[in-house]
Chain A
Amino acid sequence: MTDAMKPLLSVEKLTVTPAAGGAPIIDGLSLSVRKGEVLALVGESGSGKSMTALSITRLLPRGLRVTGGAVRFDGQDVLAMDGAALNRLRGAGIGMLFQQPQAMLDPTARVRTQVAEPLTIGRGMPRKAAFARVIDLMKSVRIPAPEVRAMAYSHELSGGMAQRVMMATALAAEPQLLIADEPTTALDVTVQAQILQLLKAEQARRQFAILLITHDLTVVQAFADRIAVMYAGRIVEEGPADEIMANPRHPYTRALIRCSLLEPEADGRLLAIPGSGARAREIPAGCRFAPRCAVPGGDAALHLACASEEPAFTACGTDHMVRCHACAPHLSNAASAA
């Protein structure tokens, strides 16, 4: 196995459950990100994307707990790390970007103080040197007039500018993996593209891996190497970005793609996937997407299979995995067995 093939981050059968008990919100989720690779984790609100990101860095909110599975980063067991090792992991291994960049900045500190924190606090760099480095970083994320902006407070920045500042902060720590949780959702459409291009450019230059979390498949196509589609706490389809976009197999993926293209249907209306994302408490017995799925149509055998048995994650083509009865070659067996 070459170094490039070795996964930098591997999540295996991760299960996250409310501490108070109840159904898991992430259920046996597996994914891996290789060095320098961009993986997009796609799904609608409530599918568990953000919670996946937070469990990778062990930042789950108080009410949630990892109850099963493993998270390995660069060969280390993240779930077994103590406080100091976790701080090192977060400081230098994994960086994160979030949805509300302005809220990510402390209103009481100047921009340069916050961008410098990974350097001054994390590495003990002298303040003066760190501030000089901050200006360089701010230049590299194309912040105009970085010397002026460095002295600003968060309320003096626009959303796009704040996200660039957050990017500079994340880059200051020189992470091997950057988890970007809907980094452009809260921004103007015109700014979204700029931020993504910048992210892509920095990724190409510094060769870190990105786990991009989004619900917008149009964003993903130009940006990601691989796509993993998440539905109700599980990965339902995964493969190379071009393959997924050109040849989506799971009905949920297909619907997501059609939704994000914003192309009107035959009757002139925009497509909406009927129903809403399955909540942890109402997970159906069979396929989790079955209640919203139109694929089985009049096929009674398929209907039965979808309603009674959860499909396995099986290969359908090179490097393309899908969790759907309709795509599985063994469907006839499953149907006849039932």
Chain B
Amino acid sequence: MHADATLSAQSAPSRLRRFLSSRHWTFAAGCGIFAVVLAILILGPTVWSLDPVKQNITQRLDAPSAEYWLGTDNLGRDVFARLVEGGRFTVTIAAISVAISVVVGVLIGVLAGRIGGWFEEISMRLVDLLIAIPDTVIAIFLVAVFGPGYVTLIIALTIVGWTPYARLARGLALQINAMDYIRAAEVLGMTRGFVIFRHFIPNLIRPISAVTFLRFGHKLITVGGLSFLGLGVQPPDPDWGLMLAAAQPYLDRAPMLMIAPGLAIFITALSVTWIGHGLEIDRTTPQS
């Protein structure tokens, strides 16, 4: 009795510490790195007054200096400014497509698992169909039809993006559906919608959020890749993938031009992947 009294009275910071200590160190590291990346991307432009498109023809392909922390590119533009601005595009696009994918996928998956019948059959066969198509192929098709742009990019990433969440959410919904607390809610005459939002969604959040972060890392790389191929963000807007592509001819004279966006993609993707892994694996519960 005393034990659970103290448990409930536990303060928020100690809960957080307990949570962190139950994770691998990479989880905390991932959170830290990702927080720093986000802070730079969000606050950077206001703190440093960066201009990513201002050209300075006299200072082309400069090495890093006090004025240009990461040097300048072939048009004399500030690489650091472009890195921050490009990161805003890349991360935002990846985040929007992941967010839409999660919402759509989880809703469809939960409904499929909970309601079953023809809805489950149709939605899951659709998942089987879409999951086999790489999003690059869809992006190429959509760009051919609608032309390149952010919206096209987001749609291309989302069309296939929701499928893994739907599949996972359906599997989890089937498990949750077998739980006694769902019976308890039904016994109390709770409505279908209430049961789904009160009981299914909260119990899905842990496993879904782990996969979300893992896939978010993957999406960052895909966004970069598509922009690199010219299917995503269009110049003069910067983007990490686009910066990589533009840096190619100058690799020998200004390696920082390629190293900077490459490292940015790598570090960001690594940090969210670590977060995802950390959420997935709890060190304090024995693994089967």
Tell whether, in the assembled complex, residue A104 and residue B184 are in contact, meaning their CB atoms are under 8 Å apart.
yes
Q: Any chain A CB within 8 A of the CB of B48?
A: no
B192 — nearest CB in chain A belongs to which residue? A83
Q: Known contacts A59-B183, A105-B181, A148-B9: does B4 contact A122 (CB below 8 Å)? A: no
Q: Any chain B CB within 8 A of the CB of A152?
A: yes
Q: Give the docked Cα–Cα distance between A166 and B183 (Å).
A: 12
Q: Any chain A CB within 8 A of the CB of B92?
A: no
Tell whether, in the assembled complex, residue A117 and residue B179 are in contact, meaning their CB atoms are under 8 Å apart.
no
**B8: which of A83, A104, A108, A151 is its contact (CB, 8 Å)?**
A151
Tell whether, in the assembled complex, residue A157 and residue B4 are in contact, meaning their CB atoms are under 8 Å apart.
yes
Q: B residues within 8 A CB of A170?
A: 188
A100 — nearest CB in chain B belongs to which residue? B180
Q: B residues within 8 A CB of A117?
A: 185, 188, 190, 198
Selected interface stretch from A86-94, A134-142, A323-331: A86-94
Tell whether, in the assembled complex, residue A106 and residue B203 are in contact, meaning their CB atoms are under 8 Å apart.
yes
Interface residue count on the B side (C-beta < 8 Å): 26
Q: Which residues in chain B, 40-98, are within 8 Å of chain A measured between CB atoms?
A: none
Tell whether, in the assembled complex, residue B198 and residue A169 are in contact, meaning their CB atoms are under 8 Å apart.
no
**A106: which of B5, B187, B199 is its contact (CB, 8 Å)?**
B199
Q: B residues within 8 A CB of A108?
A: 199, 202-203, 205
- The number of chain A residues touching the other chain, given as a range, is 35 or more
Q: Which residues in chain B, 168-192, are within 8 Å of chain A measured between CB atoms?
A: 179-181, 183-192
Q: Which residues in chain A, 128-165, are within 8 Å of chain B measured between CB atoms?
A: 144-145, 148-149, 151-153, 156-157
Q: Give the docked Cα–Cα distance between A315 and B9 (Å).
A: 60
Q: Which residues in chain A, 71-111, are within 8 Å of chain B measured between CB atoms?
A: 83, 86-92, 94-96, 98, 100, 103-109
Tell whether, in the assembled complex, residue B180 and residue A91 are in contact, meaning their CB atoms are under 8 Å apart.
no
Q: Give the docked Cα–Cα distance between A117 and B190 (Å).
A: 8
Q: Give the docked Cα–Cα distance between A156 and B9 (Å).
A: 11
Q: Give the docked Cα–Cα distance between A153 and B194 (Å).
A: 20
Tell whether, in the assembled complex, residue A156 and residue B4 are in contact, meaning their CB atoms are under 8 Å apart.
yes
Q: A residues within 8 A CB of B191?
A: 87, 121
Q: Any chain B CB within 8 A of the CB of A203?
A: no
Q: Any chain A CB within 8 A of the CB of B1?
A: yes
Tell whether, in the assembled complex, residue A104 and residue B183 are in contact, meaning their CB atoms are under 8 Å apart.
yes
Q: Any chain B CB within 8 A of the CB of A118?
A: yes
Most chain A C-beta atoms within 10 Å of own C-beta, residue among B179, B187, B203: B187
Q: B residues within 8 A CB of A144?
A: 1
Tell whether, in the assembled complex, residue A122 and residue B203 are in contact, meaning their CB atoms are under 8 Å apart.
no
Q: A residues within 8 A CB of B190?
A: 87, 91, 117, 121-122
Q: Any chain A CB within 8 A of the CB of B12?
A: no
Q: B residues within 8 A CB of A95?
A: 187-188
Q: Any chain A CB within 8 A of the CB of B7?
A: yes
Give chain A's interface residues, CB within 8 Å of chain B: 57, 59, 62, 83, 86-92, 94-96, 98, 100, 103-109, 117-118, 121-122, 144-145, 148-149, 151-153, 156-157, 166, 169-170, 173
The 5 A-B pairs of least Cβ separation, nearest first, read: A91-B189, A90-B189, A108-B202, A103-B180, A87-B189
| Extra contacts besides A105-B184, A106-B181, A151-B8 (5): CB < 8 Å | A94-B187, A95-B188, A108-B205, A121-B191, A173-B189
